[in-house]
């Protein structure tokens, strides 16, 4: 058995030879101590790795298939890494107090014996791994496994080619469907990508937050970015909203419309607006009431079925011009500037919008508070 000094010299020679001659395995040897007063703690870690060229095969473009060629190539790659790397880690702990005479002597002796043993084991392992017979056998096995990986590449390319063809066909079909939906005015059927800038929102950076078929509307949120300090003290960046949105759409008469809305969306724990919001949140901002299942919209008017307060006085008039070209008509209609009631159906007409028919009952009329901003 060699001495510590002789083993250290041998390990240095092994390292230099491995650096100079790439036909030899590369090596890494580390012997560290993290001792405390009460314990001797030693750790050794070493690697002997055969140098091999990695086979570069196409990355998988589609979904991950557990039984596909990429999975088989990964398994083969794991086999190559397993046979080309010899790794060893070992920890040694001795409970002996360094301040006592016996403890200090025990620690010194254990330290010497552990270092001597692991260095001998490393030198012996490298001698075995670098022998001509072992190197030849490892290289032959690596060549066989690499050939198996290479044989999988044509199948990988075929699968990727089929995936790209399907994706192109799907995109073409989606573009055709988007065009058809936009031509018919049914923009809610359009993909987010196709609708993102269709309404030309007046923001330099915008985010399509929501689309609604019922309200025939789309909501764009103005977007920004900011830095914030995480709970771990590190600085990060995130996308935020400015609180401004643009509610727009195409009415059933074919007219395009758009309104600015302000202070829309929720805030996070830092007080920043989210870029996500709903059509209902924007309409609540616009009309001053949450648009629920009791609401129906005609242009910039929202009709909500709700009880009329007892103190509200109504006057009888079968026809009521609510706002501009919007007129309500019903036999026995009673109304004031905000409420109307009838025990018969109420017809809401407009010069361009289709007629809206409301069931008999009590209603409150909400007018858009941003009609002057309409584009």
pLDDT value for 306: 94
Condensed to tens digits (0 to 9), the pLDDT of residues 351-365 reads 888 899 999 999 999
CB atoms within 10 A of CB 22: 9
DSSP class per residue in 251-296: -TTS-EEEEEEES-S-B-TTSPBPS---HHHHHHHHHSS---TTEE
Torsion of CA 96, 98, 103, 109, to 10 degrees: 90
Over the range 160-179, which residues count as b (16 or more CB within 10 Å of their CB) and which as e?
eeeeeeeeeeeeeeeeeebe
- Break the chain into its structural domains and give their ranges: 4-154, 192-287, 295-373
Averaged over 137-162, what is the pLDDT?
A: 95
Condensed to tens digits (0 to 9), the pLDDT of residues 292-331 reads 999 999 988 999 999 999 899 999 989 999 987 899 999 9
* Three-state SS at 180: helix
pLDDT value for 185: 84
Condensed to tens digits (0 to 9), the pLDDT of residues 236-265 reads 999 999 999 999 998 888 888 899 999 998
Strand ranges, E, within the chain = 26-33, 39-49, 85-95, 206-212, 217-229, 235-250, 256-262, 295-298, 301-305, 315-316, 319-323, 326-329, 334-335, 339-342, 346-349, 356-358, 361-367
pLDDT value for 296: 94
pLDDT value for 35: 93
Asked if the model's pLDDT at residue 101 lies above 70, the reply is yes
pLDDT value for 1: 52
| Token code pair at residue 87 | 């790794």
pLDDT value for 207: 94
Asked if the model's pLDDT at residue 366 lies above 50, the reply is yes
CA angle 272, 274, 277 (to 5 degrees): 145
Range of lowest pLDDT (55-64, 123-132, 148-157): 55-64
pLDDT value for 370: 67
Is the CA virtual torsion 302, 303, 309, 310 positive or negative? positive
- Residue 218: pLDDT band with limits 50, 70, 90: very high
Average pLDDT, the chain: 91
pLDDT value for 304: 95
pLDDT value for 81: 94
Which residues face 43 on adjacent strands? 32, 91
* Interhelix angle 69-83/132-184, nearest 10 degrees: 150
Asked if the model's pLDDT at residue 68 lies above 90, the reply is no
Asked if the model's pLDDT at residue 373 lies above 70, the reply is no
pLDDT value for 374: 45
pLDDT value for 372: 45
pLDDT value for 313: 92
pLDDT value for 375: 39
Per the CB < 8 A criterion, the answer to whether 283 and 291 are in contact is yes
Asked if the model's pLDDT at residue 115 lies above 70, the reply is yes
pLDDT value for 230: 82
Residue with tokens 């084991």: 121
pLDDT value for 110: 95
């Amino acid at each position: 058995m060699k001495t510590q000094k002789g083993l250290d010299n041998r390990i240095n020679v092994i390292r230099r030879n491995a650096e100079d001659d790439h036909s030899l395995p590369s090596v890494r040897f580390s012997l560290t101590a993290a001792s405390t007063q009460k314990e001797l703690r030693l750790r050794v870690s070493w690697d002997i790795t055969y140098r091999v060229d990695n086979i570069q095969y196409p990355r998988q473009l589609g979904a991950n298939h557990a039984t596909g060629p990429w999975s088989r190539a990964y398994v083969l790659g794991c086999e190559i890494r397993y046979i080309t790397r010899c790794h060893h880690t070992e920890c040694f702990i001795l409970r002996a107090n360094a301040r006592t005479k016996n403890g200090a002597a025990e620690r010194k002796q254990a330290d010497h014996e552990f270092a001597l043993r692991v260095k001998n084991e490393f030198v012996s392992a490298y001698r075995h791994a670098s022998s001509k017979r072992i190197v030849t056998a490892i290289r032959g096995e690596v060549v066989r496994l690499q050939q198996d990986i290479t044989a999988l590449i044509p199948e990988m390319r075929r699968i990727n080619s089929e995936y790209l063809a399907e994706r192109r066909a799907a995109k073409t079909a989606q573009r055709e469907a988007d065009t058809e939906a936009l031509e018919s005015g049914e923009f809610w059927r359009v993909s987010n990508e196709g609708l993102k800038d269709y309404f030309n929102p007046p923001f330099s950076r915008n985010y399509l937050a929501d689309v609604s078929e019922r309200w025939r509307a789309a909501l764009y949120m103005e977007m920004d970015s900011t830095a914030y300090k995480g709970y771990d003290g590190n600085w990060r960046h995130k996308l935020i909203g400015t609180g401004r949105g643009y509610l727009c759409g195409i009415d059933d008469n074919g007219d395009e419309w758009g309104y600015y809305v302000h202070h829309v969306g929720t805030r996070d724990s830092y007080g920043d607006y989210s870029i996500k919001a709903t059509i209902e949140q924007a309409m609540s901002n616009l009309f001053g009431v949450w648009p629920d299942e009791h609401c129906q919209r005609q242009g910039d008017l929202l009709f909500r079925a709700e009880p009329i307060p007892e103190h509200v006085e109504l006057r009888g008039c079968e026809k009521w011009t609510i706002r501009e070209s919007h007129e309500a008509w019903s036999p026995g209609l009673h109304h004031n500037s905000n409420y109307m009631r009838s025990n018969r159906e109420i017809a809401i007409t407009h010069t361009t919008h289709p007629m809206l028919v409301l069931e008999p009952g009590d209603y409150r009329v909400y007018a858009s508070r941003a009609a002057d901003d309409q584009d």
